């Protein structure tokens, strides 16, 4: 069952992804790049050449769902070393739609976040490693 209310397409999609190995930014919006192993039957993020759970080397590229359920959340009030973006910001674990189960750590945006609520993927502009603007991922209600 698709619980996502829709995918909002950011007008900022022309920004480069903060890490093109984990995130694609195009006209369809933002997509997290994961992997799936037929041997283990498990999805993972970020994509790796071998299954992180079993070591199987049959990983196939997988575009991950843009919708999920907020599982856990907190607010970060102090910048981690090397981070030049705004604080405070939300951080949490999102259980992505689909099977098998996959939870990802993500930035969060929006007010009134509660565990169990439906969230969807969007892009967020942050300073990249070189100080230039880059696109990262964020989930919001």
Q: What is the mean pLDDT of residues 66-89?
A: 92
pLDDT of residue 4: 59
What separation, in Å, do the N-terminal and C-terminal C-alpha atoms of the chain show?
A: 17
**If you search the block for the tokens 């069952």, which residue do you land on?**
1
Mean pLDDT of the chain: 89
pLDDT of residue 14: 64
pLDDT of residue 78: 95
Token digits for 45?
């993020």
Picking from 51, 9, 57, 61, the residue whose alpha carbon sits closest to that of residue 30 is 9
Q: Is the pLDDT of residue 11 over 60?
A: no
Signed CA dihedral, 9, 76, 84, 129: sign only: negative
pTM: 0.86
pLDDT of residue 95: 98
pLDDT of residue 8: 44
Q: Is the pLDDT of residue 9 over 70?
A: no
């Amino acid at each position: 069952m698709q619980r996502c209310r829709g995918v909002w397409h950011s007008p900022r999609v022309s920004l480069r992804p903060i890490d093109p190995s984990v995130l694609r930014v195009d006209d369809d919006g933002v997509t997290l790049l994961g992997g799936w192993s037929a041997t283990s039957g498990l999805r993972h993020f970020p994509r790796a050449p071998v299954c992180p759970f079993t070591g199987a080397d049959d990983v196939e590229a997988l575009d991950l769902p843009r919708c999920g359920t907020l599982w856990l959340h907190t607010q970060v009030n102090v910048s981690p070393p090397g981070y030049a973006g705004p604080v405070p910001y939300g951080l949490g674990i999102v259980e992505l739609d689909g099977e098998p189960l996959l939870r990802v750590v993500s930035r969060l945006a929006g007010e009134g976040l509660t565990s169990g609520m439906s969230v969807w993927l969007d892009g967020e502009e942050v300073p990249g490693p070189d100080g230039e603007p880059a696109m990262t991922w964020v989930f919001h209600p």
